[in-house]
Amino acid sequence: MATLDSKIPKGPLKDKWTTYKDTINLVNPANKRNIDIIVVGTGLAGGSASATLAELGYNVKAFAYQDSPRRAHSIAAQGGINAAKNYQGDGDSFYRLFYDTVKGGDYRSREANVYRLAEVSANIIDQCVAQGVPFARDYGGLLDNRSFGGVLVSRTFYAKGQTGQQLLLGAYSAMNRQIARGKIEMFNRHEMLDVVKVDGKARGIIARNLITGELERHSAHAVVIATGGYGNVYFLSTNAMGSNATAAWKIHKKGAFFANPCYTQIHPTCIPRSGDYQSKLTLMSESLRNDGRIWVPKKMEDVMAIREGRKKPTDLSEDERDYYLERRYPAFGNLVPRDVASRAAKERCDAGYGVNATGEAVYLDFKSAIERYGREQAKLHHISNPSEKEVYDLGKGIVEAKYGNLFQMYEKIVDENPYETPMMIYPATHYTMGGVWVDYNLMTTVDGLYCIGEANFSDHGANRLGASALMQGLADGYFVLPYTIGDYLANDIRTGKIPTDTKEFDEVEKEVKDRLDFFINNKGKHSVDYYHKKLGKIMWDKVGMARNAKGLTEAMAEIKALREDFWKNVKVTGALNEMNPELEKAGRVADFLELGELFAKDALMREESCGGHFREESTELDGLQKGEAKRNDKDFAFVAAWEYKGEPADAVLHKEELEFKDIELKQRSYK
């Protein structure tokens, strides 16, 4: 049985990574040519890893289900990427980024990993600029920054509202260079359906060519999973439609522990749901909270008047509005971290103050920002006594320059002009902090099997601060994995090619094929989406923003029953050996139906509130923090790593106790 050894290097926190790099095994460049690495996923994590491993001289085979690496879901990230550069001279440092991340994660992440992340963060920006990523610049030609929820310095680098896209294009261009050199073999429109182990080590994968439907065997000396998060377990989320847990779940079934599945981030600034047909939710970048103020009406009669269209939000005067974040959290105001902002919105909407037809929306208002910027601009342009219209136009110009594309996107979707009337927002599932358990080397509990980016559990603890996922994905891919994997592969220089015509490959391919055959031949009565939507509803209602023991127990039973029904009654159209999007979905939903149950089980076990996991039974009952989440460090300062034992309900818990030597565990207060 696999055991948990986090392999954190000894020595002072600040020196761990440097000492580690100085002492690990290296692979001679000539030997790298004889070593193959499979990288599944080409988002920021997989793309940067593929490019760097190829650059180092390994032979890389990269896989993605889209038609191009450039379309990985990382492309959707809008807001920015953090790095402790202290370009603004506002007191940022590695230690502060480390501190903010550990605190933001509610003290449920591994100190050594987070410190390393903070350390390499500065390098990421240098790397990306060298690749031609067009980050925003100030008039002096230097890089510009903005700030994000949960921190007090300006350390976020951005490229308009398209930071993820530009960073991904940077990694993709580095990949293209290696593809052209023949060092990366790219498999577009290929989905990994299982991992193959030989003598306990990951030695290959079974992938389905999504155009021809053929199953393919690919071998390598090590396998890297970089397949992103599992937020789509909720059906509705801000994730791309194809985002899935399949690779992570399949390796879990083959021995990789799955950590903290219940840590999910609900993002506060999404466009509210409008109807049952909805297929996904759209995120509005959190950077909007830098300038937007969040409120609901103070009086219920105004809420009613607005819902019924008798009043407009702009009709309410300042004192008729409840800026509830500023009221509850004066120190951070609208910039509290995501979990806090999301729960506060839910609290107001649950109390009946939601401002749209479904009662699930609050306002994000730019009026005072437009006014503030307008007055500033008027001064700068030496306009004395500017008219209201002049102030508005000048201010609007600034807001447009900062957030124009987001405003446009909102207007396209909602059909309302957000400069004139406040935006409506509501929280939505966004990011999963849980994932495959990895040690300091980013290796899972299976030898030679690595997991990077959102797919692993590391670095963000129970909550992720804005602009930190991109940072982690690129840190893993460009700067961490290329070192740590070398240490492992140094033992493989004499192994030679791994054959694929072996019984290990035969067996796994057969498992995969049987499953696909089942779907095609099961002439059931309900579509795959029918099940996915049902699962999503159970997850959102009982395993969503707030959870309690009763709901979680029910959820586990309901998911199990739904899964059983799925395996009896699912209907998949089309054939095996062709492009078949329904078949692809069926496999993904089957995995979500198992993961969902483990998710609920993990949440049930964790009888404390922390970060993205809010257990209603664990709430502060009095004092300044009344109503806020109550963490329990004495009993729960551990990573929950689950070992697969058949049914998700039978999974066995392993605890990685978290040690905090450099940070004092404190109540996370944003008051």
Ligand X SMILES: Cc1cc2nc3c(=O)[nH]c(=O)nc-3n(C[C@H](O)[C@H](O)[C@H](O)COP(=O)(O)OP(=O)(O)OC[C@H]3O[C@@H](n4cnc5c(N)ncnc54)[C@H](O)[C@@H]3O)c2cc1C
Residues noted as catalytic: 338
Return d(Cα 243, Cα 654) in angstroms, integer: 27
User: Does 176 participate in binding other proteins (rule CB under 8 A)?
Assistant: yes
Give residues with Cβ within 8 angstroms of 406, minimum separation 6: 78, 161, 284, 285, 288
Q: What does the per-residue mask of binding to other proteins show for 55-74, with x meaning CB under 8 A?
A: xx---------xxx-xx-x-
User: Does 43 participate in binding ligand X (rule CB under 6 A)?
Assistant: yes
User: Does 282 participate in binding other proteins (rule CB under 8 A)?
Assistant: yes
Among ligand X, other proteins, none, partner that 160 touches (CB below 5 to 8 angstroms by kind) = other proteins
CB of 241 to ligand X, least distance (A): 12
Among other proteins, ligand X, none, partner that 211 touches (CB below 5 to 8 angstroms by kind) = other proteins
User: Does 435 participate in binding ligand X (rule CB under 6 A)?
Assistant: no
- Out of 42, 145, 444, 609, the only residue in the binding site for ligand X (CB under 6 A) is 42
Of 155-163, 318-326, 336-344, 420-428, the segment contacting other proteins by CB under 8 A is 155-163
Q: Is the Cβ of residue 302 or residue 509 nearer to ligand X in the bound state?
A: 509
User: Does 18 participate in binding other proteins (rule CB under 8 A)?
Assistant: no
Question: How would you class 19 by CB atoms within 10 Å of its CB: exposed for 0-12, middle for 13-18, buried for 19 or more?
Answer: middle
User: Does 200 participate in binding other proteins (rule CB under 8 A)?
Assistant: no
User: Does 87 participate in binding other proteins (rule CB under 8 A)?
Assistant: yes
What is the CB-side half-sphere exposure of residue 225 using CA atoms within 13 A? 41
Count of residues binding other proteins (CB under 8 A)? 79
Task: Tell me which residues in 118-137 interact with other proteins (CB under 8 A).
Answer: 120, 123, 125-132, 134-137
Partner residues linked to 547 by β-bridges: 615
User: Shortest CA distance to 566 belongs to which of 597, 599, 527, 596?
Assistant: 527
Among ligand X, other proteins, none, partner that 120 touches (CB below 5 to 8 angstroms by kind) = other proteins
User: Does 425 participate in binding ligand X (rule CB under 6 A)?
Assistant: no
- Out of 6, 48, 260, 484, the only residue in the binding site for other proteins (CB under 8 A) is 48
Among other proteins, ligand X, none, partner that 254 touches (CB below 5 to 8 angstroms by kind) = none
Measuring CA to CA, how many Å separate 118 from each of 133, 440, 459, 468? 21, 15, 10, 10
Among ligand X, other proteins, none, partner that 410 touches (CB below 5 to 8 angstroms by kind) = none
- Out of 527, 569, 619, 667, the only residue in the binding site for other proteins (CB under 8 A) is 527
Return d(Cα 41, Cα 260) in angstroms, integer: 22
CB of 51 to ligand X, least distance (A): 13
User: Does 140 participate in binding other proteins (rule CB under 8 A)?
Assistant: yes
136 and 160 in contact (C-beta within 8 Å)?
yes
User: Does 580 participate in binding ligand X (rule CB under 6 A)?
Assistant: no
- Out of 56, 60, 72, 259, the only residue in the binding site for ligand X (CB under 6 A) is 72
Q: Is the Cβ of residue 230 or residue 323 nearer to ligand X in the bound state?
A: 230
CB of 539 to ligand X, least distance (A): 17
Task: Tell me which residues in 250-309 interact with ligand X (CB under 6 A).
Answer: 283
User: Shortest CA distance to 285 belongs to which of 156, 133, 373?
Assistant: 156
Return d(Cα 437, Cα 547) in angstroms, integer: 23
> Which long-range contacts does 214-220 make (Cβ < 8 Å, 24+ apart)?
214/577, 215/509, 215/512, 215/513, 216/190, 217/500, 217/505, 217/509, 218/38, 218/61, 218/187, 218/500, 219/36, 219/497, 219/498, 219/499, 219/500, 219/505, 220/36, 220/37, 220/38, 220/61, 220/498
Among ligand X, other proteins, none, partner that 444 touches (CB below 5 to 8 angstroms by kind) = none
What is the CB-side half-sphere exposure of residue 538 using CA atoms within 13 A? 26
Among other proteins, ligand X, none, partner that 228 touches (CB below 5 to 8 angstroms by kind) = ligand X
Reading the block at residue 52, the tokens are 């760097």
Measuring CA to CA, how many Å separate 648 from each of 108, 258, 263, 592, 602? 23, 11, 17, 11, 10
Give residues with Cβ within 8 angstroms of 329, minimum separation 6: 336, 340, 670, 671
Return d(Cα 578, Cα 314) in angstroms, integer: 54
Task: Tell me which residues in 201-230 interact with ligand X (CB under 6 A).
Answer: 226-229
Give residues with Cβ within 8 angstroms of 397, minimum separation 6: 377
User: Does 399 participate in binding ligand X (rule CB under 6 A)?
Assistant: no
Unique residue bearing structure tokens 């601009």: 377
Give residues with Cβ within 8 angstroms of 627, minimum separation 6: 347, 619, 620
CB of 184 to other proteins, least distance (A): 10
Measuring CA to CA, how many Å separate 161 from each of 74, 243, 439, 467? 13, 21, 33, 12
What is the CB-side half-sphere exposure of residue 198 using CA atoms within 13 A? 20
Q: Is the Cβ of residue 159 or residue 296 nearer to ligand X in the bound state?
A: 159
Give residues with Cβ within 8 angstroms of 309, minimum separation 6: none
Q: What does the per-residue mask of binding to ligand X show for 462-481, with x meaning CB under 6 A?
A: -----xxxx--x--------
CB of 264 to ligand X, least distance (A): 12
User: Does 298 participate in binding other proteins (rule CB under 8 A)?
Assistant: no
Task: Tell me which residues in 232-271 interact with other proteins (CB under 8 A).
Answer: 240-242
- Out of 50, 52, 59, 78, the only residue in the binding site for ligand X (CB under 6 A) is 78
User: Does 150 participate in binding ligand X (rule CB under 6 A)?
Assistant: no
Of 178-186, 235-243, 290-298, 519-527, the segment contacting ligand X by CB under 6 A is 235-243
Q: What does the per-residue mask of binding to other proteins show for 371-410, with x meaning CB under 8 A?
A: -------------------------------------xx-
Q: Is the Cβ of residue 333 or residue 574 nearer to other proteins in the bound state?
A: 574
CB of 9 to ligand X, least distance (A): 24
Question: How would you class 266 by CB atoms within 10 Å of its CB: exposed for 0-12, middle for 13-18, buried for 19 or more?
Answer: buried
Give residues with Cβ within 8 angstroms of 594, minimum separation 6: 249, 563, 648
SS3 564: helix
443 and 196 in contact (C-beta within 8 Å)?
no
Among other proteins, ligand X, none, partner that 163 touches (CB below 5 to 8 angstroms by kind) = ligand X
Q: What does the per-residue mask of binding to other proteins show for 535-574, with x meaning CB under 8 A?
A: ------------------------------------x-xx
The residue at minimum Cβ distance from ligand X is 43
Measuring CA to CA, how many Å separate 480 from each of 279, 484, 555? 36, 6, 38
> What pairing do the DSSP bridges indicate for beta strands 215-219 and 201-209?
antiparallel
- Contact set with ligand X (CB under 6 A): 40-46, 63-66, 72-74, 76-81, 163-164, 191-192, 226-229, 238-239, 243-244, 246-247, 283, 430-431, 453-455, 467-470, 473
